[in-house]
Chains A and B, each alone.
Chain A
Amino acid sequence: MRETYFSHAIRETLAEEMARDERVIMLGEDIAEYGGAFKITAGFAERFGKERVRNTPIAEGGFTGVAIGAALTGLRPVVEMMFMDFITLALDQLINHAAKFRYQYGEQARVPLVVRCPAGAGRSYGPTHSQSLERHLVATPGLVVVAPSTAHDAKGLLKSAIRCDDPVIFIESKVLYGRRGDVPEGDYTVPLGEAKVVRDGEDCTIVAYSRMTEESLRAAEALAAKSVSCEVIDLRTLAPMDTETVAESVRKTGRVVVTEEGPLTGGIGAEVVARVVESCFDYLQAPPQRVAASDTPVPASRVLEEAAIPSARQIAEAVVRSIRAG
């Protein structure tokens, strides 16, 4: 198996899909010669031409809408949202257009769109360049929301997303861009809508996604040294959510800790906990725990940012609280 960067896995996937299917085009700010803010599309304009690798004005709502219209009429656009924070400018197009066309216009309508979103904190970019806004998207029926945690899954899930006939929000942790992992060469897919048990355990289930998966694995490793066995689940797709994989684990462990990079209130953790309580209340030995960012904007200072965003230590503490509770 070949080891490569998460960011390179995404670049490779985009290139492979553009080579495989001429209908795949890209739209976004500075994605052509510049290669995108994170250099994901470096070299694409030269290879595929600027008709298919299309620099846009700074108009997130407009170019997302253009991509939706193109998707509705035969193309398979991949939009790069330079920072996920900017998706707020495109929410009308995503919520009122992309998410609803299939339902309101019927089977004739398909919106095979991917919106790639470099997301999350960890780089001291401050309040408007560090957010994890997926909570706002999972609450809209009709949008698929995907958030890989490894280079392997980034490639397989992105392939599935590009081949999917629904609008997919594809969340890429900026911190994970720099991680390396095993990535098969050539074509493979990871199915959308399926969570994965990434570590088996008996005492407590930790539910995570994106960058918090590696923090959760770190926590599980530390706890294993104290003879606490954690099962770690990587949700991978946030909507539609694979409740069954989580429930099955919680029925075994009787405890659940959910972690995310976004703030506590109204987050993904709240949704996971609600589903766990609904589906396996009788199996719970302790109250579910949420480990999330502080209910604040994401501050820029490294010290403050670290205080705001959850880490392995807080996840481990939540597991311990859960075990002590019952």
Chain B
Amino acid sequence: MKYDHDEIIEHYRLMLVIRRFEDVLDQLFGEGVIVGTSHFCAGQEACAVGAVAALRPSDLVSSNHRGHGHFLAKGGEPRRLMAELFGKATGYAGGRGGSQHMAEFSLGFLGTHGITGGMIPVATGAALSQKLLNTGNVVLCFFGDGATGSGAFHEAVNMGAIWELPIVYFCENNLYAMSMPVAEAFKVTSIAERAAAYGLPGVVVDGNDYFAVREATGEAAEHARSAHGPTLVEAHTYRHYGHSKSDDCGYRSAEEEAAWRARDPLKLMRERLIAEGSLTEAAAEALAQEAEQIIADAIEFARNSPDPDPETLCDGVFADFD
């Protein structure tokens, strides 16, 4: 194996943590413990963890509405993510943002955000900063297939291309923009094909295969780092839950869901690691239990955290005018 064994096991554990985080969130919403909305990334863990694994720690990541996995992969603490979902003062946004609006710049995580496609220009601007400030860092910009219908996607990718910015445009194509299937949303056969319109390389990768994602993103990141500009990576994947917690997935067939679950990224990774002798069944179970424990601890932390103080409501609207 070309990668460090302990690191791979750690990343497998991280994927288990993300899965557990999302599964538990679904329960907590169901029980009414947390309110608002959330977009679960269960099923897409190999994209988040595999792509971020290809980066250096100082590289930057921008996210979207389905961003818990991206944030956890970039080093986000489950406790503080969970606290944000609980609307607590200890959350990453102090309870102001919720699922879709949290960031931690010290980790190089530029933020989840609730406007589909909206962060693609922002991430491109972050890449412009990296170029002009000569940081040597690249930006990994996550978005979904739905975002490729937005003008923001086209405008930003074009600017990233003409200015040869150090950015990787990473599309998690989970086949549906909310309920709209990709076949109805665009005429081209793949999203990666659109890269040609910007004079960029476009690659399609199995988004449920951690190793394939890591490989493709690694190449794209080095291409960007060596001043050759962006790559459009399209990762084929599938979300296990609906678009958001209120979606019952009436637009997907049971057969399709079963076929994708058979290619669950956690299952694929576990089978591969066991087959090549990197992991035993017992060790895999222990990791799963660890993940459960980490999330149980996060929930405990969130439950016991204080609510934000309403007195702070109007603080921080401006940097210079409070």
* A interface residues, Cβ below 8 angstroms from B: 25, 51-52, 54, 56-57, 59, 61-75, 77, 92-93, 96-97, 100-111, 141-142, 144, 164-166, 192-193, 240
Contact = CB atoms under 8 A, between A and B. Distances in A.
B321 interface: yes
Interface of B: 60, 93-94, 96-97, 101-106, 110-111, 113-115, 118-130, 132-133, 151-152, 154-156, 158-159, 162-163, 316-321
A146 to B, nearest CB: 12
A105 B93 contact: yes
A325 B123 CA distance: 57
B94 A102 contact: no
Nearest to A90: B121
A106 B94 contact: yes
Contacts of B122: 65-66, 68-69, 72, 93, 97
A64 B124 CA distance: 11
A59 B317 contact: no
Contacts of A25: 132
Contacts of A74: 129, 133
Contacts of A108: 103-106
A104 B317 contact: no
Contacts of B118: 65, 92-93, 96-97
Given A68-B122, A100-B101, A103-B316, A51 B158 contact: no
30 contacts: A51-B132, A52-B132, A57-B158, A59-B155, A62-B151, A62-B159, A63-B121, A64-B121, A65-B118, A65-B120, A67-B125, A69-B124, A69-B125, A71-B125, A72-B110, A72-B125, A73-B130, A75-B128, A92-B152, A93-B118, A93-B121, A93-B122, A96-B118, A97-B119, A97-B122, A105-B103, A106-B96, A106-B316, A110-B319, A164-B319
B85 to A, nearest CB: 14
Given A72-B122, A93-B118, A97-B122, A61 B128 contact: no
A215 B125 CA distance: 40
A166 B156 contact: no
A164 B158 contact: no
Nearest to B121: A65
A102 B318 contact: yes
A166 B316 CA distance: 11
A86 B114 CA distance: 24
B162 A165 contact: no
Given A103-B96, A166-B321, A70 B129 contact: yes
A270 B107 CA distance: 45
A56 B159 contact: yes
A71 B121 CA distance: 12
Contacts of B114: 96
A111 B317 CA distance: 11
B137 to A, nearest CB: 9
Contacts of A96: 114-115, 118
Contact of B125 (A66, A102, A110, A165): A66
Contacts of A105: 93, 97, 101-103, 105, 111
Contacts of B123: 69
Given A51-B132, A61-B151, A70-B125, A141 B103 contact: no
A102 B163 CA distance: 28
A271 to B, nearest CB: 17
Contacts of B124: 62, 65-66, 69
Contacts of B162: 57
A102 B103 CA distance: 11
Contact of B318 (A59, A77, A240): A240
A63 B159 contact: yes
A69 B105 contact: no
Contacts of B152: 61-62, 65, 92-93
